[in-house]
């Protein structure tokens, strides 16, 4: 009966639109997890109109409006749609190291379409894509926006900006091939220019590579790769343009200089120390720590082409990153949920929740990182998401168990709605495309 009702939505949506038509939906369930209040509410009721939440209360306080279509999720628990602040939708988990050289721009774009769909159906209704070649992320964002393909709301960085030979350059081929990434910039003025260029071609935010990385060839994971002056110029320019800045940073000095330069989020943050925690708090910056990643890299990385030197770097940094996570949570650093999906399979984003709980967060804190906290670090772009209240986008998911009792229930989301359109119900995709 319930599925039959949902099928009506699908018909109404039709081709070429991703916002629900002017139909009123009355959504009820047994429980709602409110990440703003930090507690659960019994028998919630939500009214949705034209893709937005218009009222929220309980079944007894908020009756169904006249003519509304009632979707009752039975015993399920409702949450705001999840937000992953660090993904690479145009990357594949089975294509690392030298295999990456065979990926054409068209192939990356096609992967992006497939991965956007998988990510949405996993309950992630918003993602920040922090690094893609050929502005494939901008094209993907527009395709989803136009209703041509389905996916989460995307905020994208375009190419990663970093130093010659650094983590975000392409270092696999010898000099005679002259392979250089689109985001390479050296010196403060070049950084400023690159930020302007990336903005010109449609980025919503800026991604800098402050230190070496695990998956890059020929660098040391802890080494700083951009100077304070370079990052200050980039951040100054980005903020002038109204763009937030995310900095890839594993190493201690690079994390701290990125924070001094005023970046908004530190990605990875593996070797952050107490001074870095204090700087982050003082500056209002957040940490986005991909602490599930290590399991996949050490378990599966070799067969998908990861270089031996990368696996060695992961062995150096993986465990330390998790210990840093625990200390950062204790120190009160503002934490957001970022997975680096694309390094590992898209759709498995929610596996990180259990790691976050294992390494020191309460289930509520882990969920807040992926909802309210993430939305806050999107700045004005996040104003209409991350929680459920009148005026917010009707981005809503539901799970079959209580996530506070069993965080892993988030790995199998049963219901997904984005902008009032139902894409999944009772664990099955209900969208025809
Ligand atoms: N993209 C990141 C890098 O290459 C992945 C780091 C994964 N390792 C980790 N422990 N989080 O540096």
End residue of a domain, out of 352, 367, 382: 382
Among protein residues, the one with the nearest Cα to ligand 1's atom 10 is 318
Domain of residue 420, residue span: 3-80+388-429
The two beta strands, 244-249 and 265-268, are parallel
The CATH code of the domain that includes 301 is: 3.20.20.140
How much is the pLDDT for 429? 82
- CA within 13 Å, CB half, 127: 36
Paired with 45 in beta bridges are 28, 57
Nearest ligand 1 atom to the CA of 212 is 12
What is the average pLDDT value for the chain, to the nearest integer? 95
Q: How many helices (H) and strands (E) does the chain have?
A: 12, 19
The residue ranges of DSSP E strands in 90-243, in sequence order, are 124-129, 153-156, 205-209
In a shared domain, residues 56 and 174: no
Paired with 397 in beta bridges are 79, 416
What spacing in Å lies between the alpha carbon of 364 and ligand 1's midpoint?
Answer: 25
In a shared domain, residues 218 and 350: yes
End residue of a domain, out of 367, 382, 397: 382
Contact of 331 with 77, CB cutoff 8 Å: no
Kindly state if the Cβ of 209 falls inside 6 Å of ligand 1: no
Q: How many domains does the chain have?
A: 2
In a shared domain, residues 179 and 289: yes
What spacing in Å lies between the alpha carbon of 50 and ligand 1's midpoint?
Answer: 40
Report residues of the chain scoring pLDDT below 70.
1-21, 431-433
What spacing in Å lies between the alpha carbon of 375 and ligand 1's midpoint?
Answer: 23
Contact of 168 with 180, CB cutoff 8 Å: no
Question: What's the CA gap between 76 and 103, in Å, rounded?
Answer: 41
How much is the pLDDT for 20? 62
In a shared domain, residues 218 and 341: yes
How much is the pLDDT for 42? 98
In a shared domain, residues 418 and 320: no
Give me 76's structure tokens: 């399920």
Closest alpha carbon to 111 in 307, 302, 350, 345: 345
Burial of 224 (0-12, 13-18, 19+ CB in 10 A): buried
Give the residue, out of 212, 246, 270, 290, with the most ligand 1 atoms within 8 A of its beta carbon, to mutate for a pocket test. 290
Kindly state if the Cβ of 343 falls inside 6 Å of ligand 1: yes
In a shared domain, residues 103 and 24: no
End residue of a domain, out of 382, 397, 421: 382
How much is the pLDDT for 117? 98
Q: Over the stretch 346-393, which tens digit does the pLDDT of each residue have?
A: 999 999 999 999 999 999 999 999 999 999 999 999 999 999 999 999
Question: What's the CA gap between 313 and 422, in Å, rounded?
Answer: 42
Task: Collapse the DSSP code of 245 into the 3-class scheme (helix H, G, I; strand E, B; otherwise coil) and give the result.
Answer: strand
How much is the pLDDT for 14? 39
What spacing in Å lies between the alpha carbon of 423 and ligand 1's midpoint?
Answer: 31
How much is the pLDDT for 19? 62
What spacing in Å lies between the alpha carbon of 93 and ligand 1's midpoint?
Answer: 13
Q: Over the stretch 58-85, which tens digit does the pLDDT of each residue have?
A: 999 999 999 999 999 999 999 999 999 9
In a shared domain, residues 116 and 68: no
Question: What's the CA gap between 255 and 231, in Å, rounded?
Answer: 11
What spacing in Å lies between the alpha carbon of 214 and ligand 1's midpoint?
Answer: 5
In a shared domain, residues 12 and 115: no
Closest alpha carbon to 410 in 398, 421, 425: 398
Kindly state if the Cβ of 214 falls inside 6 Å of ligand 1: yes
What spacing in Å lies between the alpha carbon of 135 and ligand 1's midpoint?
Answer: 22
Give the residue, out of 100, 221, 223, 268, with the most ligand 1 atoms within 8 A of its beta carbon, to mutate for a pocket test. 268
How much is the pLDDT for 428? 81
Give the residue, out of 86, 166, 293, with the most ligand 1 atoms within 8 A of its beta carbon, to mutate for a pocket test. 293
- CA within 13 Å, CB half, 334: 18
């Amino acid at each position: 009966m319930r599925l039959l009702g949902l099928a009506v939505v699908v018909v109404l949506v039709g081709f070429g639109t991703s916002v629900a038509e002017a139909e009123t939906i009355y959504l009820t369930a047994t429980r709602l997890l409110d990440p703003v209040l930090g507690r659960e509410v019994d028998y919630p009721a939500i009214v949705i109109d034209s893709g937005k939440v218009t009222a929220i209360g309980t079944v007894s306080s908020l009756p169904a409006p006249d003519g509304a279509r009632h979707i009752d999720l039975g015993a399920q628990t409702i949450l705001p749609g999840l937000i992953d602040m660090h993904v690479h939708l145009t990357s594949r988990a089975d294509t690392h190291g030298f295999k990456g050289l065979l990926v054409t721009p068209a192939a990356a774009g096609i992967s992006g379409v497939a991965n956007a769909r998988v990510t949405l159906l996993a309950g992630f209704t918003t993602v920040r894509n922090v690094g893609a070649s050929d502005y494939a992320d901008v094209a993907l964002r527009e395709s989803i926006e136009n209703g041509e393909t389905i996916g989460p709301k995307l905020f994208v960085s375009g190419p990663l900006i970093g130093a010659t030979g650094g983590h975000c350059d392409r270092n696999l081929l010898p000099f005679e091939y002259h392979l250089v990434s689109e985001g390479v910039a050296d010196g403060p003025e070049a950084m400023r220019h690159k930020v302007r260029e990336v903005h010109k071609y449609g980025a919503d935010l800026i991604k800098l590579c402050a230190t070496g990385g695990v998956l890059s060839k020929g660098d040391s994971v802890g080494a700083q790769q951009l100077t304070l002056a370079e990052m200050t110029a980039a951040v100054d320019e980005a903020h002038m343009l109204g763009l937030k800045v995310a900095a890839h940073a594993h190493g201690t000095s690079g994390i701290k200089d990125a924070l001094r330069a005023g970046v908004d989020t530190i990605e990875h943050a593996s070797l952050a120390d107490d001074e870095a925690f204090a700087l982050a708090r003082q500056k209002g910056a957040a940490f986005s720590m991909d602490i599930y990643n290590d399991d996949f890299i050490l378990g599966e990385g070799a067969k998908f082409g990861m270089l031996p030197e990368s696996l060695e770097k992961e062995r150096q940094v993986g465990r330390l990153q998790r210990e840093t996570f625990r200390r950062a949570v204790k120190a009160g650093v503002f934490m957001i949920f970022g997975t680096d999906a694309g390094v590992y399979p898209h759709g498995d984003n929610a596996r990180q929740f259990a790691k976050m709980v294992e390494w020191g967060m309460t289930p509520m804190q882990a969920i807040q990182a992926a909802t309210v906290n993430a939305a806050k670090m999107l700045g004005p772009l996040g104003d209409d998401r991350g929680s459920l209240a009148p005026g917010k986008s009707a981005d809503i998911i539901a799970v079959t168990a209580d996530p506070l009792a069993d965080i892993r229930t988030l790995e199998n989301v049963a219901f997904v709605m984005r902008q009032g359109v139902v894409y999944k119900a009772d664990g099955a995709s209900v969208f025809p495309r």
